[in-house]
Structure 1
Amino acid sequence: MNSFKAGQTVVRRDVHRTGRVWSEHALRVVADTSEALVAACPPGAETRWPALYIKARTDGDRSVRTEAFDAMATGVWELADAVWQETELLLWKPPAAWFSVNAFYTAGGLRNWYVNFEHPTRRTTDGFDTFDLTVDLVVDADLTGWRWKDEDEYAHVRRLGIVTDTEHHAVNAARDQVLAMLAERSGPFADAAAWSDWRWNRAWPAPRLPRPAKAAQRVAPDGG
């Protein structure tokens, strides 16, 4: 496994089974160990998202996200350049896990934890590839409560065949794994206080994608 150095820019890509890129997100490495890759970004980090995703946020219309998944099923979609907004992000991604644990921070501190269910990591020269499987778990900052998010979209991508039966079984197992981590306070939840105290290193500029962004004024979807 190639290791990344602290402060290095890496690119998280969601890659569809056809090999087409669904999204790109520039991050900086906080730590890279055999347990997990930890990476982060502040507002201003460069991203690329499906144009329909950005339209859904701009218009405040979640039904447009459904259109984006319909486009994914056809294999034809357009990416648009954007920047990360509103929150600082700290991501914990074990290499073989079907999920990542993310923490979102505002000026008031840790806003919430966010578990993204996704493919295991495939390392690349520039970072790592995965694929977002739509369903998420939102966890209170103090770990006292949680709720599932986007179950409706998950059902839709299941109907479209975007998430296969094999992937569905992996997601179900990962759901149990994450709930056990919460109950046991393991993984990043074992040191929740340190995570709560984390802040973006102001000495690091916001990370940029390898190719210059063309429309940096656009707003990237925040937190799934």
Structure 2
Amino acid sequence: MTGERIVRRDVHRSGRVWSEQALRVLADTGEALVTACPPGAQALWPALYARARSEGERSVRTEAIHAMASGEWELAAGVWQETELLLWKPPAAWFSINAFYTAAGLRNWYVNFEHPTCRTEAGFDTFDLTVDLVIDPDLSTRRWKDEDEYAHVRRLGIVSEFEHPAVELARAQVLDMLDQRAGPFADADRWAAWRWNPAWPPPCLPHREGAGPGMPGSPPGSPST
């Protein structure tokens, strides 16, 4: 239902939660689940990723990846900051297409390669597979991001030999969507004009209802951005 609060979770194959993000539903159809959040939306992120983001230390991010491989990590409370997020997630796709907005408008498109959607009572589960594609607002330029990190998580076995071909196929699918102006790219101008409904407060995580945006450990943005 439009305006409903849901939770996106990244869930490791061990069953442990890697991250949580509070979102609101914009649309839910057979084509895609479309959600969004503004600055102030609550989240839980790996403490090491939050530290890497706040300190700008790539080595700490690498440490977080090793923690993921070992299955041992701690989560830190956070809030989404800096941008409004729009997230378009086809149910069976190994990716989501995201758009980030500032006061000046659409900053960029961002394709996150991840597990297909697994619906839950609270929202949906997936799992970020590290590699990303950044696309300019007018769709004219694209660049791959975190290729080195993706190679590293493959070496560590975080991305399995089963998952890698699915990611490679998803990469080709996204590039074809771009070339054909399909999916959200078919309505790129309409999505570029989208903004968060100011009547909606930033969504909270269910078990953190009432907590304010100044929670300890809040990093300056999502680990994925």
Aligned to 2:132: 136
2:170 maps to 1:169: no
- Which structure 2 residue ranges, 5 or more long, are not aligned? none
Give the letter aligned to residue 160 of structure 2.
Answer: T
Aligned to 1:112: 108
**Misfit runs of 4+, over 4 Å:** none
Give the letter aligned to residue 136 of structure 1.
Answer: D
Contact 2:136 2:142 in 1 (8 A): yes
Instruction: Give CA deviations for 1:66-115 in whole Å, capped at 9, x if unaligned.
Output: 10010011111000000000000000000000000000000000000000
Contact 2:53 2:223 in 1 (8 A): no
2:146 maps to 1:150: yes
Instruction: Give CA deviations for 1:126-159 in whole Å, capped at 9, x if unaligned.
Output: 0000000000000000000100000011011001
| SS in structure 1 at match of 2:85 | strand
Aligned to 2:99: 103
2:207 maps to 1:196: no
Contact 1:40 1:200 in 2 (8 A): yes
- TM-score, with structure 2 as normaliser: 0.96
- TM-score, with structure 1 as normaliser: 0.96
Identity of aligned residues (%): 70
- Which structure 1 residue ranges, 5 or more long, are not aligned? none
What is the CA–CA distance in structure 2 between the aligned matches of 1:112 and 1:12, rounded to whole Å?
21
Offset of 1:221 from its aligned partner?
A: 2.4
What is the CA–CA distance in structure 2 between the aligned matches of 1:166 and 1:63, rounded to whole Å?
28
Aligned to 1:61: 57
Aligned to 2:33: 37
Q: CA RMSD in A?
A: 1.1
Aligned to 2:215: 216
Aligned to 1:181: 177
Contact 1:137 1:147 in 2 (8 A): yes
